[in-house]
Amino acid sequence: MEGAFTITQTMQTDELKTVILNALDDLKAKDVTVIDVSERTSVTDAMIIASGTSNRHVKSLADNVVTEVKQHGVRPLGTEGEGSSDWILVDLGEIVVHVMLPATREFYDLERFWRETPKADMKVVSE
């Protein structure tokens, strides 16, 4: 029984990831990266990091992710950073989405924390 739950949970995570990536792609997110962190932390299974071209674009991307996941029955656990819109975090439990301005992304370099993650677990979705 335990194995069936894990398979179902993985399928749900993959479906959620697809919804998020489509929502980001719909509004032309830049440099989208997916990092599988499931083996490295118990906080989340994956992080998706994307860049927007302006504060307004960052806000629109994050809003679109929230709208799309809600349409698929997923309620975000929280959203942070909407006030400044240079970095917005959308916490969806098994996936955490970071949408940032390129300068903010470069400054904080979240990918740096996961560089030791095997290459197969980190993939750039778009340039």
Taking alpha carbons only, the member of 19, 8, 17 closest to residue 35 is 17
Model pTM score: 0.83
Q: For the chain, what is the mean pLDDT?
A: 85
pLDDT digits (tens, 9 = 90+) for 50-62: 999 999 999 999 9
- Domains along the sequence of the chain with CATH: 2-124 (3.30.460.10)
Mean pLDDT of 7-14: 61
Non-local (6+) Cβ contacts of 24 within 8 A are 32, 48, 50, 61, 64, 65, 99
C-alpha–C-alpha distance, residues 44 and 42, integer Å: 6
